[in-house]
Amino acid sequence: MTVQGLPMAVPARDLPARVRIHEVGARDGLQNEKATVPTEIKAEFIRRLADAGLTTIEATSFVHPRWVPQLADAEQLFPLVGDLPVALPVLVPNERGLDRALALGARRVAVFASATESFAKANLNRTVDEALAMFEPVVARAKAADVHVRGYLSMCFGDPWEGPVPLEQVVRVCRALLDMGCDELSLGDTIGVATPGHVLRLLTALNEQGVPTSTLGVHFHDTYGQALANTLAALQHGVTTVDASAGGLGGCPYAKSATGNLATEDLVWMLRGLGIDTGVDLDRLTATSEWMAARLGRPSPSRTVRALSHEDSEYSEDSHKER
């Protein structure tokens, strides 16, 4: 449990008053889990996340089951949570996926593009432009149905095959996604190599090409421990949408040591300390991540979850703990 009065709320200058957390644990966090998580557990996870105060919870992906077997139950899962009073975006890789999502009443969808050719090839078996061409009718039809579209862009900072990613390359794909009608973008540091100066430079480069900060979300991975420092830099630039994963669930299969997404709890701790409103109940969220960790059979990688873990939790003790 949190200690009374900690963290002390001390606002810093020039930061946004509110931040919207785009919670990705149920989709991005779970998609690489080997053991199949039962559909009812996923639904319960999403319900608990909503109950903890998260308002945007990415629910699942309407991808072909062969690609992501863990999310093969999208059709069964979505109706179980569709009535929750939160935004429930779902990933749609192509028109077939969009059809499935729309048939179930999804009001928010996301497409998943790459800033690099290597990852486009590895992840989508397409060139960057072929992938964009595939998304174009998806976005057009979603917009025609008045559905909100998020464009994910992966490998915005570094790529495991190509090394540093040129800014122009990222800017070009961002522009293409916005031009085809995406409502917002999520700039992904898929292998976690970004640092704050790089983040600021990319955001500035996007602004210079006419992309307003209000359309930009950030999606940092904690592979090198940089996610929260990068988030601070993005907030200082005016970003108000931050992706995070409850308990730090998830990882990138292409990063050698897959410490994955920024943990929502670590983010909420910082935002609470900065006096930035998120609407999230940290104790409730931590309890949810502990509950999910027990379902998955291993402790959460989130530092905050470990620090706040309940005495009676199966995973309240960090296995590396010294005393």
What's the one-letter identity of residue 317? E
35: tokens are: 């053991």
Buried b (16+ CB within 10 A) or exposed e, 93-107: bbeebbebbbeeebb
Which residue in 156, 174, 182, 252 is the catalytic one? 252
> How is residue 238 annotated by DSSP?
T
Residue 316's CB: how many other CB atoms inside 10 A? 16
Rounded to 10 deg, the angle between the 264-273 and 282-296 helix axes is 170
Strands (E), the chain: 20-23, 56-57, 60-61, 90-91, 108-114, 148-154, 158-159, 163-164, 184-189, 216-220, 241-244
> How far apart are the C-alpha atoms of 129 and 134, rounded to whole Å?
9
Q: Smallest gap, in angstroms, from Cβ of residue 88 to its own copies? A: 25
Minimum CB distance to its own copies smaller for 186 or for 300:
300
Partner residues linked to 160 by β-bridges:
none
Q: Smallest gap, in angstroms, from Cβ of residue 70 to its own copies? A: 11
Minimum CB distance to its own copies smaller for 13 or for 83:
13
> How far apart are the C-alpha atoms of 154 and 169, rounded to whole Å?
12
Q: Smallest gap, in angstroms, from Cβ of residue 308 to its own copies? A: 8
Minimum CB distance to its own copies smaller for 96 or for 298:
298
Strands 148-154 and 184-189: parallel
Minimum CB distance to its own copies smaller for 178 or for 262:
262
> How far apart are the C-alpha atoms of 262 and 181, rounded to whole Å?
28
Count how many Cα atoms sit within 13 Å of the Cα of residue 120 in the half-sphere of its side chain. Answer: 21
Give Cβ neighbours of residue 263 (< 8 Å, ≥ 6 apart): 222, 244, 245, 246, 247, 248, 289, 300, 301, 302, 303, 304, 305
Minimum CB distance to its own copies smaller for 10 or for 144:
10
> How is residue 7 annotated by DSSP?
S
Minimum CB distance to its own copies smaller for 104 or for 274:
274
Q: Smallest gap, in angstroms, from Cβ of residue 60 to its own copies? A: 18
252 is catalytic: yes
Q: Smallest gap, in angstroms, from Cβ of residue 5 to its own copies? A: 4
Which residues bind to its own copies, rule: CB under 8 A? 3-12, 15, 32-34, 157-158, 160, 163-164, 192-198, 200-201, 222-226, 228-229, 231-233, 251, 253, 255-259, 263, 266, 269-270, 272-275, 298-299, 301-304, 306-307, 309, 316-323
Q: Smallest gap, in angstroms, from Cβ of residue 275 to its own copies? A: 7
Active site residues per annotation = 252
